[in-house]
Chain A
């Protein structure tokens, strides 16, 4: 019984790994694009945000 529930807990966390890592990657991609992209146009559009969030800028 204990073994069963432990196995269930492991499968639940294993089934969460893919959606959670996808979510985190999506978030990192968005922040990277807005805050770290070297594209001049993106830099200009997000300029005040980058300064106000203390991202490295320029």
Chain B
């Protein structure tokens, strides 16, 4: 139980801090580009859905064209939206940290910030870069295939890449290395679900800046998440070896 508790503590601390950093980076890079893209999205309602079409200009058009039917709740633009983005960032970061730390413990732990950094970069490769090769980051208003198949491809690619990287790092046999290469390449041979047409009202230079910003912010985020998890994990080892030791002491008494 102490192992679970210590990992959760570590993940919460590392996730809150790195998620906060991610939110700050995003509010200067990706979020302004998303807001700009929404202007084009709302101007061209056929381009897809319009989720938070605020009662601004063209509200009647976008409501009529609304992809999801009933207008669902959405945070108001500005501060409220920022708060929800920050919360979602930190929650995601905690979730990623939980998985990252659990994976590292299965292989003997981070052993400090450097090991954590390596795990963090592996996380970036598995969660951002590999899925991004097939499904690049999207701006609102860009066409895309059905959501379900894309999510399945995304998850499969992340899992295959993570297992492939793990095999390369932790096994020494040629068979496993070959299997790792297959796992790394297979999702891209299968190919991501693509939309029938890539036509969009979103300007390409806006999109290019967005893709760059997504990769840059996420690389920094994963590196910091991993390194922080490595540092904090060393501080929270209370009870793990001690519980074994104390039970031995109790027996000796």
Contacts and interface: CB of A to CB of B under 8 A. Distances in A.
Partners in one complex: yes
Interface of A: 16, 19-24, 26-31, 33-36, 38, 40-41, 43-58
Sorted nearest first, the 10 A-B pairs with minimum C-beta distance are A27-B98, A30-B95, A40-B72, A44-B74, A46-B88, A49-B88, A31-B95, A27-B99, A56-B150, A54-B137
- Mostly, the A contact residues are helix
Interface string B49-63: 101100000000000
Contacts of A45: 74-75, 84, 87-88
B38 to A, nearest CB: 10
B34 A20 contact: no
Contacts of A50: 88
A54 B129 CA distance: 9
Contacts of A41: 72-74
21 contacts: A20-B106, A23-B99, A24-B99, A27-B94, A28-B95, A31-B95, A31-B96, A33-B91, A34-B91, A38-B147, A45-B75, A46-B85, A49-B92, A51-B34, A51-B140, A52-B85, A54-B131, A54-B132, A56-B151, A58-B51, A58-B144
A31 B128 CA distance: 14
B137 A51 contact: yes
Contacts, number: 146
A43 B51 contact: yes
Interface string B40-54: 000000001101100
Interface in B81-106: 81, 84-85, 87-89, 91-92, 94-103, 105-106
Contacts of A48: 26, 30-31, 34, 81, 85, 88
Interface of B: 1, 3-4, 7-8, 11, 22, 26, 30-31, 34, 48-49, 51-52, 67-68, 72-75, 81, 84-85, 87-89, 91-92, 94-103, 105-106, 128, 131-132, 135-140, 144, 147, 150-151, 154-155, 214, 217-218
Contacts of B137: 51-52, 54
Contacts of A51: 30, 34, 137-140
Given A27-B96, A31-B92, A51-B137, A20 B102 contact: yes
B107 to A, nearest CB: 10
Which among A26, A30, A52, A57 has the greatest number of chain B C-beta atoms within 10 A?
A52
A56 B68 contact: no
Nearest to A8: B244
Residue among B22, B96, B98 with most chain A CB within 10 A: B98
Contacts of A21: 102
A30 B92 contact: yes
